[in-house]
Structure formats: C-alpha cells, structure tokens
Amino acid sequence: MEYGDGFVSKEHRELARSASESADPLSVSPLQISIHPKSANSPRSPNRTGSSRRSPGQGSPGKGSPLKCERHSHSPTYGHPKKGGSGGKGTWGGLLDVDDSHSLDPNDPNFDSSEERYHTTVRKSTTDFLEFKKNATIIVEEYFATDDIVSTANELRELEMSGYHYYFVKKLVSMAMDRDDKEKEMAAVLLSALYADIIDPPQVYRGFCKLVESADDLIVDIPDTVDVLALFIARAVVDDMLPPAFLKKQMAALPEDSKGVDVIKRAEKGYLAAPHHAEIIERRWGGGMQKTVEDVKAKIDNLLREYVVSGDKKEACRCIKDLKVPFFHHEIVKRTLIMAMERKQAEGRLLDLLKEASEEGLINSSQTSKGFGRMIDSVDDLSLDIPNAGRILQSLISKAASEGWLCASSLKSLVPTPRKGSFAR
C-alpha cells in the first residue's frame, strides 16, 4: 500500500526532492498554500521580516476558514535583500539601479577601449582649452603693454595649440574693443602680422564668426559694439584676412533680430561701400599709432622704387630689416610682384631682390608663399589695370620656382577668369 493516512511514501519523497534540485532557479516554483491565523487588529504584511511558518503543533484550520492564503517559495534561501546589496535570490535586485559615477572598468567583459579613449580625449581637450584661454588673455595683455609683435607671435606659437587660435582672435578683438584707439589699431596690426604665418586663415574666419555671434553679449559692456566690431570686420576685409563673401554668409546665418546683423550691415554699408573706403578704414585708428600699416606700406613702396633705380640689393635688404615687421613681409612680396608686373623692364631686378632676401633668410618661405598666394587671390582685380595679369603672374611663379626660392606646390592653382579686355589675347 503506497498511500495511507495522508502520508507520502519514501519513494515519492525522493522523486520530489530530485525534481526540486534540478529545477531552473529562474523558473516559477510551484506554490504551496498554507493558512495562518490572523488577528483583525494586527494584520500581517507579506513584506514583513518575521517568519510566516506555522509553529510546530499548530493545527490546520478548518475548511471554510476566512483566513487568507500566502505564497512561499520552496527554496530555503532567504529572499530579502542584504544590507547595501542589490537584492536577494528571486528578487529584481539592482536591475533598475543607476550608477552615477559612470566609471569604465577595464575588467568588464563589455569594456570598450575606444570609449575610454574618447572620454580621456574629451577631458584632455577641455583642460587644454581652459589653459589656452588663460594664456591667451595674458598674451594679449602683455602685447598691449609692450607693442612687441615678434614676442607675441613667439609666445602664441610656443603654446602649440593652433586649433584654438580662433579664440585668440576673438579675445584680442573683444579686449581691444573696450580700449582706446591705440589698442584697436595695435590689434588690427597684430592680426595682419600673424595671419597665415602663425594663425591659419580658417581660424581667423572662425574667430570673427564667434565675434559676430556674440555681439548681443558684447554690447552689454561695450555700448558701441556695433560700430567698433563693424570697423574691425571692414579692416579685416581691407587687409585681405576676410573674403567679402564673409558678410553675405554671416547675414544668412544670423537671426534677424540679433545685433550681429546690425554689425554686418554697418560694415558693408557704412564702411566698405564708402568712396576711398580702404584709406578711411586704415586711418580710422591710426592717430594713436607711431607706425601704422599705411606707413609701412608707404615705406615699402619707397624702398622698392629706390632699389629699381640703384640696383643695390644690400641696401634694399637693410631697409627691409629696419622696418622690423617680419610677420608683414608678405606685403613686401606682394608689392614687389605688383611692381614687377607693372614695370616689365624692372622684372628681373625685382625678382633678384626677392631671391636674395629669401636665400639670406630675411624673408622666410612662409611669408614668400603668403605673398604669392595673396596675388593669386587678387588676380581678377589686378587684371582690370594690368592686361594679362594672370599670365604674367604665372610666369613669375614659374621663374621663382625654377630658381628654388618658391615652393609652387604650396600655392593654389592659378585659374584665370577671362574678363573683357584682359584675357582676350
């Protein structure tokens, strides 16, 4: 007889135990219904810490008892979470927990080294930029105090953070805007000196974009922001640092109600559209400077004319050195080339001067390339006054490259645009 008096045989108990041990711990266990007496005045919570087992000797309730049924797992493991833990067996534990520290563990099987490199790079970039901002402010302050272009250029180069130079442009101009005309002119001269040789053209462009975008903030502390910033932009266009197309692109990108729009309109209609605007713009702040850009250009023209007459390369090189504007030597190259194009008989002598200055290290290769590059950019305008300007310039480039003092591969390709009366032949 296998069953008797409500007892389970030994064989069935062994089968039940075996099935319990081999069951999947994540599967739902069969539920045992047990009945406990409960007082109406002291209800038991299923989450309460106390044990829900009946004490030995407690009788089974009769059929039809109003007492509730409670669920109990067959597992002997205590299911409540440990102190500070994610949860006990059979609980959801820490599935929805959030770790605010978000630290990457190299031992994690899901660890991605590229993600770690990304976070490291972001942290380093932020630190580098903050350091550059601090140094840029110091450099600008020192420049306004010393008026030393060479030292300022060297300090900026030594930072070795060319990707942040746009911020230097923004900081230099914004600090000058809140000072006298002397500092404004100094800032314009420094930008022209550093352009292309120290600060890449895209960085200058981006710096002025940032300035225009921040016009609404600048005007809070600088009431004449619209006029002063417009003049800085016009000056950058005249000095060949910003293309005229900068104005249209910024006008299209800015919100209609921003002060930046007023700045662009003032620069275009108030300064660049005026007759003889280049001379007016360059002399606007010149009263506070002992040596303005216009003065330097005049001295360059004088030394070139004297050299064409005398042919004394040694004296011409001495005059170039006495100008003490090494970061403005691209202007010497440009004006020498223009004179060579205008005076065919003096072409050979003028090219010999540039060759001598390059070989002696007086004019470095960067300034030489920049001067030729500016000529390429302005060839369409030159063709209005110099017939076949494109062909002549191409010939000068070929001669300089063949003599070894110009790296032609660093220049943009010269693709002349035919104009009426200029490239007809």
For the entire predicted model, the pTM comes to 0.52
The helices-and-strands tally (H runs, E runs) of the chain is: 18, 2
> Which residues, in sequence order, are bridge partners of residue 7?
4
Comparing CA positions, the residue from 252, 253, 262 lying closest to residue 227 is: 262
Comparing CA positions, the residue from 205, 204, 218, 322 lying closest to residue 262 is: 218
pLDDT tens-digit profile, the chain (425 residues): 444 444 555 555 555 555 555 444 444 444 444 444 444 444 444 444 444 444 444 444 444 444 444 444 444 445 555 444 545 555 555 444 444 445 555 566 665 566 556 555 667 788 999 999 999 999 999 999 988 888 899 899 999 999 999 999 999 999 999 999 989 999 998 998 899 889 999 999 999 999 999 999 999 999 999 999 999 999 999 988 999 999 999 999 999 999 999 999 999 999 999 888 888 888 888 744 445 677 888 999 999 999 999 999 999 999 999 988 887 899 999 999 999 999 999 999 999 999 999 999 999 888 898 899 889 988 888 888 898 899 999 999 999 999 999 988 878 776 554 444 443 33
The backbone torsions φ and ψ at residue 265, rounded to the nearest 5 degrees and listed phi first, read: -65, -40
> Which residues, in sequence order, are bridge partners of residue 69?
35
Domains of the chain are: 118-288 (1.25.40.180), 293-410 (1.25.40.180)
Reading the block at residue 58, the tokens are 């407690």
Report how far residue 320's alpha carbon sits from residue 305's, in angstroms, rounded to the nearest whole number: 13
- Residues 13-28 as b or e (16 or more Cβ within 10 Å = b): eeeeeeeeeeeeeeee
